[in-house]
């Protein structure tokens, strides 16, 4: 048995977005702007992972690879009022650290304990995603479980030309839906701009989202399965089969998170956070509230798309 160590934040990529040059004026032909992204994969995530930046039509406009420390830099030309997806993918050299008590392969065999590396062949197909607006000012982004869930809910539904305030509104609305799905606190705001903690810092109190994010490393199937179920339930919130599937997946993930809390690997967790995860495990999902939030998210997406700027637009306009 390995010696207990401090928990490392799993599956996170930090991205700094810096606006370099240019300006946009409403009603004019859409211009372009240079965006510089300084990013890093936090310790314990995926070293040597491929990083892609894609435009709204899924064309790759920048590609790179994180180094041994998870660092990468990029620069690309961004169109006014446009959306860009950030995506990490596994290649043959990628290594991910296990941040759950145990990590399992697709056959449910234990392949690693906490702190041990997982080789690329065991995590093939794993992707983390987020998205940014071309009007994003200097800020920090992460790619993690929660940004991926929000991205998968809404990115494909937003049209070219949407304004930053609409992107923010939709992102918060989608974050709330994810919170309902996992019984997490509803005061977390926009998951796309909420950095999860670096859990190796001893004097930081660990929050519930960071614990759940770490627990999701226990099985490669957790994230894609949960994402697909949330998206399906968003479209059919009253489907009892989907409700049962989402409830079962929520319980499985939160059981893993609670196991992590109870282990010797995690320190500096408040009783409040422990109680939050304990209650979330035991309480059933409020599917009435989930259905109302699904309706709200559809309304927010529709309104954001209706108010987009399509004057002189390039690429997809939705018409």
Of 1-5, 125-129, 135-139, minimum mean pLDDT range: 1-5
**d(C-alpha 97, C-alpha 119), whole Å:** 9
pLDDT bucket at 188, cuts 50 / 70 / 90: confident
Angle between helices 145-154 and 208-215 (to 10 degrees): 90
**d(C-alpha 73, C-alpha 64), whole Å:** 8
What residue segments make up the domains of the chain, in order of their start? 13-19+37-306
Q: Tell me how far apart the 2 most distant CA atoms of the chain are, in Å.
A: 64
> 3-state SS string over the chain?
CCCCCCCCCCCCEEEEEEECCCCCCCCCCCCEEEEEEEEEECCCCEECCEEEEECCCCCEEEEEECCCCCEEEEEEEEECCCEEEEEEECCCCCEEECCCCEEECCCCCEEEECCCEEEHHHCCCCEEEEEEECCCCCEEEEECHHHHHHHHHHHHHCCCCCCHHHHHHHHHHHHHHHHHHHCCCCCCCCHHHCCCCCCCCCCCCCCHHHHHHHHHHHECCHHHHHHHHHHHHHHCCCCHHHHHHHHHHHHHHHHHHHHHHHCCCCCCCCHHHHHHHHHHHHCCCCHHHHHHHHHHHHHHHHHHHHCCCCCCCCCCCCC
Number of Cα atoms under 13 Å in the Cβ half of residue 247: 13
**d(C-alpha 62, C-alpha 76), whole Å:** 7
pLDDT bucket at 120, cuts 50 / 70 / 90: very high
Of 3-7, 13-17, 177-181, 269-273, minimum mean pLDDT range: 3-7
Q: CA angle 259-261-267, nearest 5°?
A: 145
Structure tokens at 208: 């519930």
- CA–centroid distance for 158 within its chain: 17
Residues 225-235, mean pLDDT to the nearest whole number: 98
The predicted-structure confidence for 43-101, as pLDDT tens digits, reads as follows 356 789 998 999 988 999 989 887 776 667 777 777 777 888 999 999 999 998 888 99
pLDDT on residue 198: 57
Q: Which residue has the higher pLDDT, 95 or 315?
A: 95
Residues 138-145, mean pLDDT to the nearest whole number: 74
The predicted-structure confidence for 28-42, as pLDDT tens digits, reads as follows 444 566 666 655 554
Q: CA angle 100-267-15, nearest 5°?
A: 65
The predicted-structure confidence for 189-223, as pLDDT tens digits, reads as follows 899 888 887 555 545 788 999 999 999 999 999 99
- If phi > 0 it is left, if psi is from -120 to 50 it is alpha, else beta; for residue 178 that is alpha
Q: Is the pLDDT of residue 314 over 80?
A: no
Q: Which residue has the higher pLDDT, 265 or 70?
A: 265
């Amino acid at each position: 048995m390995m010696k207990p160590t401090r928990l490392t934040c799993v599956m996170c990529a930090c991205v700094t977005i810096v606006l370099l040059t240019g300006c946009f004026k409403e009603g004019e032909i859409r211009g372009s702007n240079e965006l510089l992204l300084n990013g890093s994969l936090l310790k314990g995530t995926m070293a040597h992972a491929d990083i892609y930046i894609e435009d709204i039509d899924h064309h790759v406009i920048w590609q790179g690879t994180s180094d041994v420390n998870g660092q990468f830099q990029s620069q690309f030309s961004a169109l006014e009022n446009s959306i860009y997806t950030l995506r990490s993918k596994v290649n043959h050299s990628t290594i991910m650290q296990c941040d759950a008590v145990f990590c399992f392969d697709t056959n449910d065999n234990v392949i690693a304990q906490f702190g041990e590396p997982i080789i690329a062949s065991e995590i093939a197909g794993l992707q983390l995603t987020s998205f940014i607006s071309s009007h994003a000012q200097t800020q920090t982004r992460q790619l993690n479980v929660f940004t991926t869930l929000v991205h998968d809910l809404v990115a494909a539904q937003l049209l070219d030309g949407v304004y930053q305030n609409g992107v923010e509104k939709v992102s918060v609305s989608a974050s709330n839906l994810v919170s309902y799905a996992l019984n997490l606190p509803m005061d977390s705001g926009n998951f796309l701009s909420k950095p999860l903690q670096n859990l190796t810092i001893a004097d930081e109190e660990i929050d519930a989202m960071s614990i759940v994010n770490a627990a999701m490393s226990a099985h490669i199937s957790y994230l894609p399965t949960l994402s697909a179920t949330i998206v399906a339930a968003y479209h059919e919130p009253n489907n009892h089969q989907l409700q049962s599937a989402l409830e079962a997946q929520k319980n499985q993930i939160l059981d893993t998170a609670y196991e992590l809390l109870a282990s010797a690997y995690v320190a500096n967790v408040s009783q409040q956070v422990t109680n939050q995860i304990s209650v979330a495990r035991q309480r059933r999902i409020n599917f009435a509230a989930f259905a109302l939030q699904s309706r709200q998210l559809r309304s927010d997406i529709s309104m954001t798309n209706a108010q987009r700027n399509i004057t002189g637009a390039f690429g997809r306009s939705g018409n």
